[in-house]
Amino acid sequence: MWYLKYKITIRLSSESIKEELKNMAGWTVVNNKLHKEFEFNDFNQAFGFMTRAAMHIEKINHHPEWFNVYNKITVDLTTHDAGGVTQNDINLAKILNSLE
How much is the pTM?
0.89
- pLDDT band, residue 3 (cuts 50/70/90): very low
At residue 11, the 3 state secondary structure works out as coil
Which pLDDT does position 8 carry in this prediction?
A: 57
pLDDT one-digit tens code per residue, 25-69: 999 999 999 999 999 999 999 999 999 999 999 999 999 999 999
How many Å is the maximal CA-CA distance in the chain?
A: 47
Name the nearest CA neighbour of 29 among 72, 82, 66, 84. 84
Distances (CA, A) of 29 to 42, 59, 75: 26, 25, 11
pLDDT (0 to 100) of residue 7: 58
Asked if 47 and 68 touch (Cβ cutoff 8 Å), the reply is yes
